[in-house]
Amino acid sequence: MVGFMNRKTRCLVWTNAVVLVFSFFLLGSCGLNEDQLKISALTHFKKGNLYFEQKRLAAAAEEYKRAIALNPDEDRFYYNLGLVYYSLSLYYQAIIEYQNAIERNPGFQEAWYNLALAFEKVDETEKAFMAYEKYQRISKNSEKSDPNSDESVTPVRSSE
């Protein structure tokens, strides 16, 4: 994994690891209950969204990492961190985060779509095609289950 990462990417990986380890130590000593952790995680997630909208990508990434440390089961936290990495042209990191989101929610359409885009950026054409096919299958299944869906409407993605 280290062979394909540039210095900036390796620094981000180590920063992620340090933030997560530090957060777990803090959590162990805080005594917060599960609901409080989820609320705190959501607060960090919302801050991350605000920073992302303001194009303050490093700050957004830190907030998403904090949210993940507090609630590692939430797929949206990983997905949004993937959006930050994609915006920074850190496509391998984006791929990891989209895969983390999909691992938690295999039906997460946007994560499959953006995973395909990220694979395309790193010339992994076959993987990009498979991810896009999965996105299309999920989209068709959700259209069948939604009687109000309009097949002529194409969803817009924020990552391209």
Domain architecture of the chain: domains with CATH: 2-145 (1.25.40.10)
Residue 18's pLDDT band, with cuts at 50, 70 and 90, is: low
Instruction: Report whether 114 contacts 155 (CB < 8 A).
Output: no
Instruction: Report whether 41 contacts 75 (CB < 8 A).
Output: no
Q: What is the mean pLDDT of residues 146-157?
A: 42
**Amino acid 150: pLDDT:** 44
**Amino acid 142: pLDDT:** 80
Q: What is the mean pLDDT of residues 81-94?
A: 98
Q: Is residue 131 packed enough to be buried (19+ CB in 10 Å), middle (13-18) or exposed (0-12)?
A: buried
Instruction: Report whether 48 contacts 87 (CB < 8 A).
Output: no
Q: Is the pLDDT of residue 14 over 80?
A: no
Q: What is the mean pLDDT of residues 54-82?
A: 98
What backbone phi and psi angles, to 5 degrees, belong to 71?
Answer: -145, 80
- Quick count: other Cβ atoms within 10 Å of Cβ 151? 8
Q: What is the CA radius of gyration of the chain?
A: 17
Q: How many residues does the chain have?
A: 160
Q: What is the mean pLDDT of residues 66-95?
A: 98
Q: What is the mean pLDDT of residues 69-85?
A: 97
Q: Is the pLDDT of residue 152 over 90?
A: no
Amino acid letter, 39: I
More confidently predicted of 37 and 87: 87
What is the C-alpha to C-alpha distance for residues 17 and 27, in angstroms, rounded to an integer?
15
Residue 61's pLDDT band, with cuts at 50, 70 and 90, is: very high
Tokens of 153: 């409407």
**Amino acid 16: pLDDT:** 64
